[in-house]
Amino acid sequence: MLWHQFPSPIVCLAPMAGVTDWAFRQLLCELGKPDIMFTEFISVAGLCSDGRKELLKDMQFSASEQPLVVQFFGRNPDQFRSAANLAAELGFSGIDINAGCPDRAVQRQGAGAMLLKEPHLIPAIAKAIRDETPAIPLSIKVRVGYEQEDELDELLPYLQEALPEAITFHWRTRRQVYKGKANWNLAEKVVTFFSGEARNRIKLIGNGDIQSIREGEILCKRYGLDGFMIGRAAWAMPWLFGQLPANPSPQTRIGIMLRHLELFQEFCPQKNFVHFRRFVKSYISGFTGAREMRVELLRQPAPEAFRKVSQQFCEKLPAC
């Protein structure tokens, strides 16, 4: 059982569209990776359509990334059943149901956080996946409500009925998106609800605003959770799970960025170079001249020019 093989707290990389792709996960394998990583979220409707071929590229991975969980979004149990069968064929370590994404494009499909408005669909989807692939560990990622936190009371019984191996709670509502602070105090209600046999079976994971491994460990101990998931902080600091200091030198940051670029070209050749630019601020910030360097890098039209400008800036830094 995937989620029961790790000591507490279990450390997870959150699924993030446009971020946790094959190249990023490979980078983490080199820098230091968490216990469990997730793919970008993938549409089950897309996998059952003519767009399947393109989406299959987003499901490629290497053995070094295991255990790797694929996250699916959608609302049709039969489509989840088909996607689960594919996940089994490809060898993923687990399947995760996205029931919390606040992205409007996902919600327009009645998926992601829209499942919070129809929570009865969650156990139906879980059953479809389990019927098709009973051997693959199933998990669910949710928010605490669509509009209000008190919606959590209605949601919890449906999550218990789904009987996943793990549930990740982002401690915000869909309405908040990423505004305000994640309300970790809601973990007390969740831990109280899942007691007895359900508590032994289901691992409870917390998510929202964690900036370091140490902070995640403290929160898990405080609230009695089994693990934590880090998203945006890992995007901003890909070295977060490894042994590097929280604020590496400019030279180290540039070196990691150029290595990431190599991996992007190797593992994501189907993606336009513009997709890589979203990572520039992660690497080029927090040091003198960073803003000017970012501006210049974002002007570069191709990897070769980007690499050349990076090296030129690096040569101007002390002891580079």
Catalytic amino acids? 101
Please provide the DSSP assignment of 296-319 as one string.
HHTT--SHHHHHHHHHHHHHHSTT
Q: What are phi and psi of 199, to 5 degrees?
A: -70, -35
Helix locations, 152-249, DSSP H: 152-162, 186-193, 196-201, 213-223, 232-236
> Residue 224 and residue 294: Cα distance in Å, rounded?
41
Instruction: Give the sheet arrangement for strand 94-99, strand by strand.
Output: 10-13, 227-230, 203-207, 166-170, 138-143, 94-99, 68-73, 37-43
Q: Check whether the bond before 318 is cis (ω within 30° of 0).
A: no
Structure tokens at 186: 């809601």
